[in-house]
Amino acid sequence: MVSGSLRIYILVEFEENIIRFGYKNNFIASLDSFIIEKPSDLYIQAIKKTVLKVIKKTTFMAFVESSQEKYQNLAYYALRFDILTNERERDILTSSPLERYKRVLAKSPQLFQEIPNKYIAS
């Protein structure tokens, strides 16, 4: 993403549940849809004026498969994403809202600059 901010959310009984945010220099995708090549139940919505760079899966995969180093980098970032997702899930299940707020503020201060508060609160 070049600029702006996005939210990824899912609808549960007509209620929007935000899963993740994206802002400048983030890679945003519905990874399940990307991998299995089926429509996703996730929604990606711009919440500020946003400029994106888009790449086709075939182009991306050709780039990744063009060298061992690129393939290893993709594997590394996929593992990092999984670790961060697991940390976030544990945090949601075991921490109070105040503890989560403090941890997010320490880890991702840019979030509070890029994402409107009403979305963070939800």
Cβ atoms of 9 and 17 closer than 8 Å? yes
Give the chain's mean pLDDT: 90
Sheet bearing 15-23, strands edge to edge: 15-23, 5-12, 42-46
Handedness of CA 65, 70, 75, 79 (dihedral sign): negative
Task: Read off the tokens for 40.
Answer: 């996703």
Distance set, CA 92 to CA 9, 43, 66, 68 (Å): 16, 21, 39, 36
Asked if pLDDT for residue 122 goes beyond 90, the answer is no
Q: Could you report the per-residue pLDDT of 80-104, keeping only the tens digit for each?
A: 988 988 988 898 889 888 898 888 8
Q: Could you report the per-residue pLDDT of 3-48, keeping only the tens digit for each?
A: 999 999 999 998 999 988 998 888 888 888 988 999 999 999 999 9
Q: Could you report the per-residue pLDDT of 44-58, keeping only the tens digit for each?
A: 999 999 999 999 999
Cβ atoms of 53 and 2 closer than 8 Å? yes
Distance set, CA 55 to CA 92, 94, 105 (Å): 32, 37, 31
* Separation of alpha carbons 61 and 115, rounded Å: 31
Rounded to the nearest angstrom, the gap between the alpha carbon of residue 27 and the centroid of all alpha carbons in its chain is 7
